[in-house]
Amino acid sequence: GGPAAIDGKLQPKDRITGVAQGEDGELVDVIGWRLDDVVQLIRGPADTVVRLQIMPAGALPGAELKVLTLTRNQVKLEEQAAKSNIVTIPREGREWSIGVIEVPSFYRDYRALSNGDKDYTSTTKDVKRLIAELEEKGIDGLIIDLRDNGGGHLTEATALSGLFIDNGPVVQLRNSNGRISRLDDPDPVARVAYNGPLAVLVNRYSASASEIFAAAIQDYERGVIIGQQTFGKGTVQNLYSLDQYVRRPEDEGLGQLTLTIGKYYRVTGESTQHRGVEPDIELPSHIDADQIGESVRDTALPWDTIRTTNFRPGTPLDTTISSLTANYNARIKDDPDFQFLVDDIREVEEMRAMKTVSLKIDSRRVEREEAMNKRLQRENARRAGLHLEPIESIEVLETLEGPDVQLDQAAAIITDLAALREVEAAPEHTAQTLL
């Protein structure tokens, strides 16, 4: 939702090597700088110009750098709002429609709310509207995509959970003196917004409020959690202004201190701190859990438990998840997209394991070209499995958007769940069960 995203020239995995102020300011080499120091150079007043020197993703050593000119502006809240689409899954002569709602953060426009605007923007309101729109189009299942969602407002996590559970507690909080409080569904009398087959898609960057929501869905047996173990951020912070200690006008702007004041816990009493939320069905990911997450930090608070609170879970999903997992394992054996992802992850892990690099630029170029040729071969192997025309060059490959294998697998899994629910709801199945 920011100027760089709207401009579109800055791409994921591009590397920023220099920053300049204005149209003709001198470029400052930022290689080796601390990240927060680089951020301070990039940030600035709205409507001012910043220039970024970029090493494009996949560029060979010694390749020409490019400079992007961006006009600073505020990030628009609506650009970060939840979005929806429909994925179709062909299965046995039928097209199954799976709704997908991507939730990038848990947001709420408190300024509009405090001004009495009943149409204030919020995650829960947007998701509820998107669910209604998807159901009007006719969907067989729903995926809430929380990948890369680092959290946000706690009130939105509890409210969003309330769209899928009848009523009851969502999360427990314990403060620094040991006092435990409970946050319930804030609108217990409202009808559930969606009661069909549900999956929550997460990865290692799903944190905090995302983990509260995913944990509630899992603990209430309301849906299936798919993806990767989440970040493990189960602590509560408060912002403590330091400006109250200012004694002289020139000392203003001391900033604020972020203090950890408590931890939150699932309704089962288990903390999400350190361990995160374990998926019911795990998918491969490029994100290295040994390098990313709360558990890799030396001073992270430990995992612990408190008492379980009273809540009413739904029908246990253990048997259903076992069936879905078996179908998933059988399906991925012959899935070219899935095998492409696994091979790509293996290649990345081999590169991460390298502890030395050559200082000879010719050797580095050869290594890079070999890596890019391997990537081209993997892509063409994938395309051959899908009966698509091969790609002749890396340049063409760089212009293409690869498949979202995790989302496709989640859609296939939720299709299995929808089909299973249809069988269970059939009159003949009920009669056989009674007999």
Please list the active-site residues: 208, 219, 233
Distance, in Å, from the CA atom of 146 to the CA atom of 202, rounded to the nearest integer, reads 5
Nearest alpha-carbon partner for 96 in 408, 356, 321, 363: 408
Which run of H or E residues covers position 310? Answer: none
Cβ pair 409, 328 in contact under 8 A: yes
Residue 165's Cβ-count burial label (10 Å; 0-12, 13-18, 19+) is: buried
Which parts of 138-224 fold into alpha helices (H)?
154-161, 209-219
Beta strands (DSSP E) in 110-217 are 141-145, 169-175, 180-184, 198-202
The set of long-range contacts for 351-356, using a CB threshold of 8 Å and a minimum separation of 24, is 352/288
Distance, in Å, from the CA atom of 12 to the CA atom of 2, rounded to the nearest integer, reads 14
Question: Would you state the structure tokens that stand for residue 372, as one six-digit string?
Answer: 């890019």
Nearest alpha-carbon partner for 217 in 285, 133, 160: 160
Residue 2 CB contacts under 8 Å (≥ 6 apart), including other chains? 73, 75, 79
Distance, in Å, from the CA atom of 400 to the CA atom of 389, rounded to the nearest integer, reads 13
Q: What are phi and psi of 102, to 5 degrees?
A: -90, 120
Distance, in Å, from the CA atom of 125 to the CA atom of 42, rounded to the nearest integer, reads 33
Per-residue b/e over 243-253, b at no fewer than 16 CB within 10 Å? Answer: eeeeeeeeeee
User: The dihedral of CA 333, 337, 338, 340: what is its sign?
Assistant: positive
> 62: alpha, beta or left, given left = phi > 0 and alpha = psi -120 to 50?
left
